[in-house]
Amino acid sequence: MADEWPNSGIDLHLELDVAEGLRTGLERALREAVRSGRLATGTRLPATRRLAEDLGLARGTVRAAYDQLIAEGYLAARQGSGTVVALPPQAASMPSAAPAAVEQPRHDLRPGGADASAFPVAAWLESSRRALRSAPADAFGYGDPRGRPELRAALAGYLGRARGVSAHPDSIVITNGYLHGLTLLATVIGGTFAMEDPGVPTHREAVRRIGARVIPLPVDDLGARTDLLTGLDADAVEVTPAHQYPTGPPLHPDRRRALLDWAGLSGGLIVENDYDAEFRYDRKPVGALQGVAPDHVAYLGTTSKTLGAALRIGWMVLPPRLVAPVADARLHADHHTEHLGQLALADLINRHGYDRHIRTSRQRYLRRRDQLRRRLAGFPIALTGIAAGLHALALLPPGGPSESDVRTAAQAHGLALGYLSERTELPCTRQGVIIGYGRPPDHAYASALDALTATFAGAQQLAKHVKR
């Protein structure tokens, strides 16, 4: 048996019952490891010499046990590859099958996602190489729970320049994304959070799971009803002032003033979710609220919509009073965000590769937005929130197709969409479809729009049928 193959230094944990002999105990332990699925099909086993040394057995004992299990079909000897696990002979002894994978839609126009295929691989590789070559030794160990100083310094400059944020590196905490930052704030603040309604259900649920109370803050065509905050007895309020999700408008100047007045008088915290601030098309960018009142606003952003959600890099710019308690909560939760990605992002920002990628992405998403608007021009819907961002809200007319009609038609065409009623806890007075035009890769966008127009046409037919 050829078991002296090159990669023979493999660890294998076995607990032997040698009451009936060493070889029998080894055979039983190996057989049970295969039957239970602990050793999966195709797994390489250590060479007989190495396993004998590890278990304190004679090499002949291990060789004999391997030969027996090969004869029984549990193992197989492959030339040049040593001994591997073969298909177990008793399927009934295998673990139960894993849950079936969630079926992906043929066409995906759900909101909340960016085009993952557009990740700047070449630029990221270059930044990663430079970051690794120059990384200090402490980058490979535990670090400051606020994050790497290189990234915090780069972000302080970028956010001040691009978003009007008043940021010092010492006031920034790096997170694993927006939801992570929100839960850290909820952990520190507790109490009651007012949260936009409609909004993001997972954000509300995350705050509730921390133990804080959530109360809905209504949204209308001028953004969040911040004029209602004085009667809500909230300790914090989460808002999307630059581009409300999912309805789309920026927060009206009068509402911004009311929000800042509330924070100044009550001492409450404003949590500013700047989730897609980089993508503005038909209007000037709306500066961050934090730049006006840095002592009252926790500013949160991420790379999820610009580079990709897989990076798990976000940031908080905090009022001075919250930096230490949030860093302490971070330390006792998961210590810090991984360092190498932080260093690569810092390099990408400092060399303006991040700006170049955002400009390219902005043009791509603008073209998609315009294609969407043209394709839906013939339908009796009001398309709102399209001056910015990666999604549009199609408000359905009274007496026309309902969300249920659209959902039924969309399923028939393999199309995934978002729905306004799913984003609200207050009584829903309007019906609407949330269309995310950021998620599909370029080559799949046209067919997704075909499915969308077919869906709206099908929904109209369903509505007419019901009326008859």
Q: To the nearest whole number, what is the mean pLDDT of the chain?
A: 92
Between 371 and 283, name the one with better pLDDT: 371
Q: Mind listing the pLDDT tens digit for each residue in 300-313?
A: 999 999 999 999 99
Give the whole-angstrom CA distance, residue 412 versus residue 462.
12
* pLDDT bucket at 3, cuts 50 / 70 / 90: very low
The rounded percent of the chain whose pLDDT value lies above 90 is 81
Is the pLDDT at 97 greater than 60? The verdict is: no
User: DSSP string of 410-467?
Assistant: HHHTTEE-EEGGGG-SS-----EEEEE-SSS-HHHHHHHHHHHHHHHHHHHHHHHHHH
User: Token pair of 132, please?
Assistant: 């690794």
Q: How many CB atoms lie within 10 A of CB 137?
A: 6
**Mean pLDDT across 75-95:** 70
Q: Mind listing the pLDDT tens digit for each residue in 49-81?
A: 999 999 999 999 999 999 999 988 899 987 777
Which domains are assigned to the chain? 22-93 (1.10.10.10), 118-354 (3.40.640.10), 356-467 (3.90.1150.10)
Is the pLDDT at 268 greater than 50? The verdict is: yes
CB 46 within 8 A of CB 12: yes
**Mean pLDDT across 251-273:** 97
**Mean pLDDT across 35-39:** 87
Q: Mind listing the pLDDT tens digit for each residue in 391-443?
A: 999 999 998 999 999 999 999 999 999 999 999 999 988 999 999 999 999 99
**Mean pLDDT across 92-109:** 65
Is the pLDDT at 100 greater than 80? The verdict is: no
Cβ-Cβ contacts under 8 Å for 215 (sequence gap 6 or more): 192, 193, 194, 195, 232, 234
What Rg do the C-alpha atoms of the chain give, in angstroms? 28
* pLDDT bucket at 99, cuts 50 / 70 / 90: low
CB 271 within 8 A of CB 239: yes
Is the pLDDT at 45 greater than 50? The verdict is: yes
Q: How many CB atoms lie within 10 A of CB 92?
A: 6
Three-state SS letters, 279-325? CECCCCCCCCHHHCCCCCEEEEEECCCCCCHHHCCEEEECCHHHHHH
* pLDDT bucket at 5, cuts 50 / 70 / 90: very low
Give the whole-angstrom CA distance, residue 146 versus residue 326.
9
Give the whole-angstrom CA distance, residue 211 versus residue 207.
7
In this prediction, residue 73 carries a pLDDT of 87
Is the pLDDT at 183 greater than 50? The verdict is: yes
CB 225 within 8 A of CB 259: no
Helices (H), 77-212: 121-134, 149-163, 178-189, 201-210
In this prediction, residue 467 carries a pLDDT of 57
Chain centre to alpha carbon of residue 299: 18
CB 127 within 8 A of CB 353: yes
Three-state SS letters, 360-426? HHHHHHHHHHHHHHHHCCCCCCEEECCCECCEEEEECCCCCCCHHHHHHHHHHCCEECEEHHHHCCC
Q: Mind listing the pLDDT tens digit for each residue in 305-358?
A: 999 999 999 999 999 999 999 999 999 999 999 999 999 999 999 999 999 999
Is the pLDDT at 179 greater than 50? The verdict is: yes
Give the whole-angstrom CA distance, residue 302 versus residue 351.
19
User: Token pair of 464, please?
Assistant: 């007419």
Cβ-Cβ contacts under 8 Å for 187 (sequence gap 6 or more): 210, 329, 333
Pairing of strands 297-302, 269-273: parallel
